[in-house]
Amino acid sequence: MELTPNSFAMSVDAGGILEPWTSKIERRLSDMAGMYADPDAERDAIAAGDAVVYEVYQHDMPNHAGELVVCTTLLYPGKVGDEFFMTKGHYHEIRERAEVYYGLSGEGQLVLAKDDGAAEAIPMRPGTVAYVAPCWAHRTVNTGSEPFVFLAVYHGDAGHDYGTIETEGFPLLVLERDGEVAVVSRQEAQ
Ligand code: M6P
Ligand code: ZN
């Protein structure tokens, strides 16, 4: 496999877009159907316009442990019922691969979970550098009223495993309760 031959610079523009990017992901509510805790609110939100929830601008790299993929995510503000807009969330296919998140604008929570049931949430704001340790699934949530933008860096061979999260979800939900941000266990929310 050919490794990236030369060093180079990337930049993040004022709108949070990584330049130069080589691939882009756009996810609407319908692309993550079944992931929000309130199925009726989710169905209504999809019927009411199926909003774009987030966009990822990524500079792809060779699938090799020695490479680092860089991307920015623009996670839009919004809620499904009382649950804030969020990414799908994933484990890495190679579980032992860590990741770094760097908050650029807006505010949110980084929700983390391990397959032994451990879970936690790290608040993120501009300047926050969050270390996602190996073997932890990760999801971001926009708890503010403007786009939550962050940069992520992860190993070229890490891969994305969505299946476990699609079937089991995260043990923690991030909700608006009495006008405040509340991180609650899934059981407590039901
Ligand atoms: C971050 C990184 C990306 C990820 C993106 C969206 O930018 O972790 O690898 O793709 O968030 O998250 P997800 O893939 O879970 O939808
Ligand atoms: Zn990841």
Report the C-alpha dihedral over residues 148, 137, 122, 34, rounded to 10 degrees: 60
Angle (CA) 124 130 136, round 5°: 110
- The H-or-E segment that residue 40 falls in is helix 39-47
Average pLDDT over residues 75-82: 98
Q: What is the mean pLDDT of the chain?
A: 97
Query: Pocket of ligand 1, candidates 69, 86, 87, 141: which has the most ligand atoms within 8 Å of its Cβ, to mutate?
Result: 87
Q: What letter represents residue 144's amino acid?
A: G
Q: What is the pLDDT of residue 110?
A: 99
Protein residue with its CA nearest to atom 10 in ligand 1: 56
pLDDT of residue 190 exceeding 80:
no
Atom of ligand 1 nearest to the CA of 152: 7
Closest CA to 69 of 57, 60, 80, 77: 60
Q: What would the pLDDT profile of 87-103 be if each residue is shown by its tens digit?
A: 999 999 999 999 999 99
For the chain, what percent of residues have pLDDT higher than 70?
Answer: 100
Question: Which pLDDT value is given to residue 188?
Answer: 86
When pLDDT is cut at 50, 70 and 90, the band that residue 189 belongs to is confident
Ligand 1 centroid to 17 CA: how many Å? 14
Q: Give the tens place of pLDDT for each residue, 6-52.
A: 999 999 999 999 999 999 999 999 999 999 999 999 999 999 999 99
pLDDT at 182: 98
Q: What tens digit of pLDDT does each residue of 160-177 get?
A: 999 999 999 999 999 999
pLDDT at 116 over 80: yes
Residue 69: predicted pLDDT: 98
Q: What is the pLDDT of residue 1?
A: 78
pLDDT, residue 28, reads 98
Residue 184: pLDDT band (50, 70, 90) is very high
Identify residues whose C-beta is under 5 A from ligand 2, the ion.
99
- Flag whether pLDDT at 4 surpasses 90: yes
Q: Does domain 11-189 have CATH number 3.30.2270.10?
A: no
Cβ 147 vs Cβ 77: under 8 Å: yes
